[in-house]
Structure 1
Amino acid sequence: MAVPEKDRQPGSEVADPESEVGELVGRLTAPGELEPAERRRLLGRLARALSTGAKKARETGAGRGRWLADVFLNIAPRIPIRDLHTLAEHHHGLTGEELADDLVRTAQKATMTVGAIGGALAAAEFAAPPLLLSAPAQLVAETIVVAAIEVKLLAELHEVYGVHVQGTGTQRAVAFTAAWAKQRGIDPLAPASVSLALGAATKTALRNRLMRTLGRHLTTFGPFLTGAVAGGALNRMATKKLGEAIRADLRVKLPSGDAPGAVGSATPQDQLEA
């Protein structure tokens, strides 16, 4: 029998891999600052959930890359994407390029924080050999959260630049995930961008991108504070590079002479549906 939420001890939660991973990622990527202790607690819950899911995947013979891609596609619709009006409200009325600048800075700070926490956890496990086997789950959790933050950034930059993606919330989520895997913006004049987003080539690109991100986080697996410093710095640089690439791509996709969207000039986009 499940233990009621009110009777659980702090830190004892175990997320169900089928129902809570998306919720945890959504909380970790929601607008606003999380207290470091709360962020660490949520990352710990996510790591435990992913560890359980990985065990099931191994039992079915699924490779880590394929399993990671499947997990991310399942949680993508839970990533909270804001429309242009909400973005301006949350960023002190900024619009256009200034709003895009602030979005990238905020995403860099978020991925840097996750990387520092994940790197510190990995460093702690490095110093405690009996617990060493749990570290990969923590790094997988970091990989999933960083990817979600960057997909959120990519989607919200589309809002800022007025590049609208049609379809249901789930279809848009998959399209933004596919764009993140390829590190480029979505072409609004190419309907196939959404309809073919779940094709074999896209799944392969997503798997490869997630595994490269995981590989980057594995470099933080070191003693003392080296993991925390490396994790934060590597994530910050990667997010900055993504933001620059997507913004350059979206500027090209704007109709000639148009500037990035100002509040009131674009149709609001609903948050991606669960």
Structure 2
Amino acid sequence: MASEADRSQDEVAELVGKLVTPEETDGAERRRLLGRLSRVLVDSAKKAKVAGPERGRWLADVFMNIAPRLPIRDAATLQRHHYGLTGEQLADDLVRTAAKGTMAVGAVGGALAAAQFAAPPLLLSAPAQLVAETLVVAAIEVKLLAELHEVYGVQVPGNGTQRATAFAVAWARQRGVNPLAPGSATLAIGAAAKTALRNRLMRTLGRHFTTLGPFFTGAVAGGTFNRVATRKLAQAVRADLRTRALPPA
């Protein structure tokens, strides 16, 4: 029988899974899902008695529970979902979609946090919205990174959890996975890899704190910052993957 902690982790993963495909949700549904996610995260953090430096470790642990459950599509599915596009055109389309996704989540998250910031009794709950936004943005970007590997034919070895870990750590380091590097699919055991992931998540969270302001500026800032960061990540990863891409068949 699943424990309460397991059910909470499952719900977080399910909510994030719905939010990483923003084209399937409208603004109202996105707000509802982000609101629900923030409440579940607050409950989870309270039960885990998270405080101080432990927050970064807790955030990384939550994300690593999400990563293996992200809906990563293979090359054939990507082509089917993107009107038969291949190669650089397919990669361009994936980046556009992901940037729109993180922009949409950032706009909603920034607006929610800014609205709470404007209401003093609710100020303490604002960071929960930003933690939820951080996890969703990270998930969208890791999904993008993993699918770009499919587009460029760079196969990452290992089982689902190992590959998810490799993609998450690559996201933290803002580059592609080198499948020929020793231990590329077992990075979960490395202290340096865990630290890189924790630091990247905390930097992303810190960026989202800049959206705490008047409602409109919070929404605009949240969306813009996320879109720029997603495009910057994609540019770095694609440059990396082009050096490892398989030649055309």
Distance 1:190 1:197 in 2: 14
Match of 1:89 in 2: 80
Runs of 4+ in structure 1 displaced over 3 angstroms?
A: 59-62
Counterpart for residue 140 of structure 2:
149
Query: Contact 1:76–1:174 at 8 Å: present in 2 too?
Result: yes
Equivalent in the alignment of 2:155: 164
* Equivalent of 1:132 in 120, 123, 128: 123
Q: Secondary structure at the match of 1:81?
A: coil
1:59 deviates by 5.3
2:235 matched residue in structure 1: 244
Aligned residue pair count: 244
Q: CA RMSD in A?
A: 1.7
Change in CA separation of 1:223 and 1:31 when aligned onto 2, cut-off 3 Å: closer
The aligned counterpart of 2:186 is 195
Q: Greater Rg, structure 1 or structure 2?
A: 1
Q: Following TM superposition, by how much is the alpha carbon of 1:171 offset from its aligned partner in structure 2, in angstroms?
A: 1.0
Counterpart amino acid of 2:183? A
User: 1:129–1:38: structure 2 CA closer, same or farther, 3 Å change rule?
Assistant: same
Contact map agreement 1:57 1:63 (CA 8 A) in 2:
no
**2:37 paired with 1:41:** no
Contact 2:13 2:66 in 1 (8 A): yes
Worse-superposed segment, 209-218 or 23-32: 23-32
Q: How does 1:1-274 map to 2 (within 5 A)?
A: 17-30=8-21, 32-58=23-49, 63-254=54-245, 258-259=247-248
Q: Distance in 1 between matches of 2:116 and 2:80?
A: 41
Identity, % of aligned pairs? Answer: 72
- In structure 1, the gaps of 5 or more residues are 1-14, 260-264, 266-274
When structure 1 is superposed on structure 2, of 32-41 and 236-245 the one drifting more is 32-41
Q: Is the 8 A contact 1:16 1:49 kept in 2?
A: no
